[in-house]
Amino acid sequence: MEYSNALKKFGPGPSAAEVERMLEEIRPLTEKNRNREVYRKCFSCIDLTSLGSTDSHEHIERFVRKAVEFPSHYPDIPNVASVCVYPAFVETAGVAIGESGLAITSVSGGFPSSQTYLEVKMLETSMAVENGADEIDIVIGVGEMLSGEYDPMGNEIETLRKEVGEDVTLKVILETGLLREPALIYRAAVIAMLAGADFIKTSTGKTGTGATPEAAVAMCAAIRSFAEKTGRATGFKAAGGISAPDDAVLYYTIVERLLGEEYLTPERFRLGASSLAGNLLDAITGREERYF
């Protein structure tokens, strides 16, 4: 696909000033969402994440077991949406999950920099799916995006979409902290959606800047425009530095305001996090749980 031409029908996206004006309207609305019901919804949309350099099969097994056993300890609280691990641990996660039905997310495609051969990205992605990944998170070619090489970037996402297959959810990470400008984030989001993304995601959490409200607004504006012009709904995932319940509520409110309540389900809204799960659980129960 010629993405440079395809972008034209979606407009330039919001300016920094327009994004700030939208946030000025949205921030006061978070007050009504600081309650246990919204915390519960946010908890159910978490991709519980372990992407550390010290991860091991033993660690991942314990990590996943915690999530699998959560409903037996907290039967009145909906469980997280998935566990997110490196490709090498997908099979280990699958064994620990057993018949529980919990989804497995795997990062792939040369995560977090995406700086390797396309053939390697394809093989890593197909192996993750073969080993049991239900969802795949890949990173765009940030350098290509910054250089205006939209076609190679989009075509690579298309290729990995084919490796993932139609039955597996594809989330495309824009690494918005490196793109910075709302208009550029908007364009990257549209390209990712045109190339077949089921979700667009803010960040890897491996650079200096993770998720920001400004990036979320630009991405949600792109999702809305894309849905209006194509009839296809795309999910939004915020990840990178999200740990406090108030952070989760802000992203929840941005999605609520710009996309509507129908997007506030695990099928359309995700939060990539580790410590957030424990902090939200404390907020839901009103006491320090120390479960995660």
Catalytic residues: 137, 201, 237
Round to whole Å and give the CA distance between 18 and 221. Answer: 11
Mean pLDDT of 255-267: 98
Q: What architecture is the 3-285 domain classified under in CATH? A: Alpha-Beta Barrel (3.20)
User: Would you kindly state where each structural domain of the chain is located, as residue ranges?
Assistant: 3-285
Q: Answer for the pair 38, 252: CB distance below 8 angstroms, yes or no.
A: yes
pLDDT exceeds cutoff 90 at 1: no
**Joined tokens for residue 292:** 């995660």
CA 199 to chain centre: 7
In the beta sheet, which residues pair with residue 138? 172
- Mind listing the pLDDT tens digit for each residue in 184-213? 999 999 999 999 999 999 999 999 899 999
- Mind listing the pLDDT tens digit for each residue in 42-84? 999 999 999 999 999 999 999 999 999 999 999 999 999 999 9
Round to whole Å and give the CA distance between 219 and 246. Answer: 20
User: Is residue 257 very low, low, confident or very high in pLDDT (cuts 50, 70, 90)?
Assistant: very high
Ranges of H-type helices in 45-114: 57-73, 90-97
- Mind listing the pLDDT tens digit for each residue in 215-231? 999 999 999 999 999 99
Does residue 153 sit in helix, strand or coil? Answer: helix
pTM, rounded to two decimals: 0.97
